[in-house]
Structures are given as structure tokens and as C-alpha cells.
Amino acid sequence: MDIESVPGRSVSSAFHRALLLIYLVSALAVVPVIYFLTKDELFAQANKELKLLVDVVSSARAIVKDKTRPYFLAKGEFFAPVVSSTVMAKELATQFHTLQPSYLIRMVSDNPLNVENLPEGLEKDVLETLRQGNNDKGVIQAGTIRDRNYLISAVPTKVHDDCLMCHGDPTAAPSDITAKYGTTTGFGWKTGTTIGATIVGVPIADLNAAVLKRSGIVIGIITVLFAGVLIVLNRVVQGNIIKPILHITEAAKAVSLGRSNEPLVSDRDDEIGALTRAFELMRRSITIATGQIARLNKTRTDR
């Protein structure tokens, strides 16, 4: 029997529309979910590295405070890296920067001996925050320094009496310090004030780029999966629903035209099988009925 499809809406296009809708919803839902997961992950990673770096810097400071400073001061030696923990931290920062240029370790002050240590951009804001909030524990915040994204941890640098031998009166400061840095800035610090900050920063990977890349991969996988589902579903719908229905439609047309001698059989035990058998019963009844009518007509005309 020649099977022709029914014009207009078909069962499979309803399936296609439903599937397309699910596909679009899942593809759209992927982006915000990935955004939040990636953001969390990048910040957790940056936080971990930050803690590590802060601990490295405070270890270097502790060595000066507990070991080298008492030893050298007792001998009347003022060599800054072994007497000032800040200078040691600065030395560490300089060495570290040559190995890991994307990380940041800065000892800043707005009244510095070394003008390299003047705070810039975000560093200025952070110093201001530390002063205003009287924030002894320090702050952690994300921001940009020299066009790079960082998660930074900043702790205030407080002036102690010890610091004044180099940062107090310039005339009393060690001569190699005044020779190197001059006498105009970096002096006149007051005990107890927040003169600067130690700022440690770790790079935060570009969030948008990471989100874009991950979303692309996940949407790609979803697309392949849905394409596979679509192909399988098409085959199942075509073979199990559409073809048998078109077959029964053709048979019904044949019955209506009086050409009903082809029996419809189905060994399926589902709804389509039941429909086919019910249709076959109907076809037989109609065949019998039309046969009887024909015989009746014949006997009537024979008379």
C-alpha cells in the first residue's frame, strides 16, 4: 500500500518543538550556573594562594624580628634588610617578583623613603580604608592594579618606637639611609600611626573568559546529546507511531472506497496493536455487512 503522509502538523513536529524548548532552556540555564560555579572556584583558588603568600611574607618578617634584628642591633649594626622586617619583606618581594611576576608583594607608604613604595590606584584606596576603619586585621578585596585583576590582602603598617631610628628625625637616621634616599621623605613618622600597608596580591584569572570557555564546552555537549536524542526519537516515533497510523489511515480510505479485501494485522501488544485489531474487526464486520446487502439486493432483483 502506498503510504502518504498527512499534510499540516504532525506528531513528530510536536515532539521536535518540545525537544527544542527543553534544549533552549537547558542551554540558557547553563550560563548562569557556570558563571557562579566558576566565580566561586576562581575566588577560592585565589584565596588559597593569598593565604600562602601572606604567610610567606610574615615568616620573613618573623625571622628579622626574632633572629637577625636583636643580633645585629646589639652589635650596633643598622644594615636595613636584617634590622627592618619591612625592608626584608621588600627584599623578598623584589626577588619573588623576578620568579613570579604575576604576583604582588608591596610595602607601601605615602611618606616613603623609597618613592617606588608610593601607593598607586587601588593601593591608595586600600590604605585609606585601613586608616578610616582602624582596621588592624586588614582587608581582603578584589581589584585592578596596573591593568591586572588581583585578589589582595592588605594589613596596616603601624609605626613603633623601633622604626624611628631610621624613619624618625632625618638628622638622627643612619647615614647610609640618608645618603641613599635623601632627607626629604620617609621621615618624621609618629609612633602608633598607620604609615602604610603591606599588600599581597594574587592574580584572578579572567572570569568572563573562563565562563565563556566552559559554557561553550557544556553547550556543545548538550547540543550533541540533544541531536542524538532527536535522531533516536525520530526513528522511534516514525516506526512505532506515524507509520502504523498512516497505514491504518490508508486502510480506512480503502474501506470507504469499497476496496477492503486486504486484512490488517499487527502482533504488537500496545495501543497501536489494539487499534489495528479493532480496525480489522470493524473492516471484517463492514465486509460481511456489505456482502449481505449485496446478496439481499441480488435476490431482490432476481425475483
Residues making contact with ligand HEC (CB under 6 A): 78, 80, 83-84, 86-87, 90, 107, 109, 112-114, 117, 157, 159-160, 162-163, 165-167, 177, 186, 195-196
60 or 107, CB closer to ligand HEC? 107
Judge residue 282's burial from the number of C-beta atoms within 10 Å of its C-beta, 0-12 exposed, 13-18 middle, 19 or more buried: middle
40 or 176, CB closer to ligand HEC? 176
Residue 28: CB atoms within 10 Å: 10
Minimum gap (Å) between residue 143 Cβ and ligand HEC: 20
Minimum gap (Å) between residue 211 Cβ and ligand HEC: 38
- Beta strands 104-109 and 139-145: pairing type? unpaired
Minimum gap (Å) between residue 86 Cβ and ligand HEC: 4
Chain center to CA of 199:
27
Residue 113: CB atoms within 10 Å: 23
176 or 206, CB closer to ligand HEC? 176
Contact 270, 20 (CB under 8 A): no
Closest residue to ligand HEC: CB criterion: 163
Q: With the CA atoms of 218, 221, 225 and 231 taken in that order, what torsion angle do they form, in degrees rounded to the nearest 10?
A: 130
Minimum gap (Å) between residue 56 Cβ and ligand HEC: 18
End-to-end CA distance of the chain: 40
Minimum gap (Å) between residue 135 Cβ and ligand HEC: 16
Contact 10, 242 (CB under 8 A): yes
167 or 283, CB closer to ligand HEC? 167
Minimum gap (Å) between residue 52 Cβ and ligand HEC: 22
17 or 160, CB closer to ligand HEC? 160
Minimum gap (Å) between residue 204 Cβ and ligand HEC: 25
195 or 248, CB closer to ligand HEC? 195
DSSP 68: I
DSSP 109: E
Please state, in angstroms and rounded to a whole number, the distance separating the CA atoms of residues 169 and 86.
Answer: 19
| 235: its cell numbers | 526513528
42 or 82, CB closer to ligand HEC? 82
Q: What angle do CA 215, 220, 225 make, to 5 degrees?
A: 125
193 or 256, CB closer to ligand HEC? 193
Residue 189: CB atoms within 10 Å: 20
Helix (H, G, I), strand (E, B) or coil at 191: coil
Minimum gap (Å) between residue 58 Cβ and ligand HEC: 13
Please state, in angstroms and rounded to a whole number, the distance separating the CA atoms of residues 9 and 6.
Answer: 8
